[in-house]
Amino acid sequence: MGRRVERESAGLPILILSVNELKTNDDQLLSMGSTKRYVKYMVSLRCKMTVKEELEKAGLKYAVSPHGAIEFLGETTPTQFEELDEVLLALGLELLDENDSMLIDRIINTVIEVVHDSDELPNLSFDDIIDRSLGSGSESILKIFSDVKGISIMQFIILQKVDRVKELLLYDNLSLSEISKKLRYKNEHYLIAQFKKHTGLSPTYFKKLRNERMSVLQEV
């Protein structure tokens, strides 16, 4: 890549989804008669409401995924996609093609799988994994990712890690040192600082929530 992506630490991990896995997921969507597209610049509530209005005007059946993709349900013709794209372009928005949407999905699913499903994050270079996972042109798809999500890929990973810290604090009886090691933060102090920055709350607050939650469970 021409531009190197800043990393939180020397070992920011990502797991690679194989091309076969990606194709399988896409084939499953096609077999259900649906397709998924992301929209560039749809990063505010106003933009989202505008897109919703245009989808309903067009009479398209759709659902919105947790990460903002529009899942078109049933058969949607190329003409319908072209007409929708023209309408969105006139509003300063852009419907991504199927290939770019699949790559965005690939990045999102990879980050979520590694951060939330790994017992301990592997010590792999983020830059190298992106290069190997997306191949040539990865810089351009990372730019598109930011246009779609309204945040950088680095920020997306950080937010996913913060969510994972919340989960571990609420559900597992782990020390901050153990969580720091599991998620490969530089150290416990860095974890605390980053957690406070993005939540406005301390890890200790979530430890208290865990105790309150356990008390409620014991009363059931």
Query: Would you say 198 and 158 are in contact if contact means Cβ atoms under 8 Å apart?
Result: yes
How far apart are the C-alpha atoms of 56 and 81, rounded to whole Å? 14
Which residues make Cβ contacts (< 8 Å) with residue 168, sequence separation at least 6?
174, 179, 182
pTM passes above 0.85: no
Per-residue model confidence as pLDDT tens for the chain (220 residues): 433 344 443 334 333 333 333 333 444 444 445 799 999 999 999 999 999 999 999 999 999 999 999 999 988 999 999 999 999 999 999 999 999 999 999 889 888 888 898 888 877 666 666 666 676 667 888 899 999 999 998 899 899 999 999 999 999 989 999 999 999 999 999 999 999 999 999 999 999 998 898 888 887 6
| Domains of the chain, start order | 19-98 (3.30.70.100), 102-219 (1.10.10.60)
- The position carrying tokens 């409401």 is 49
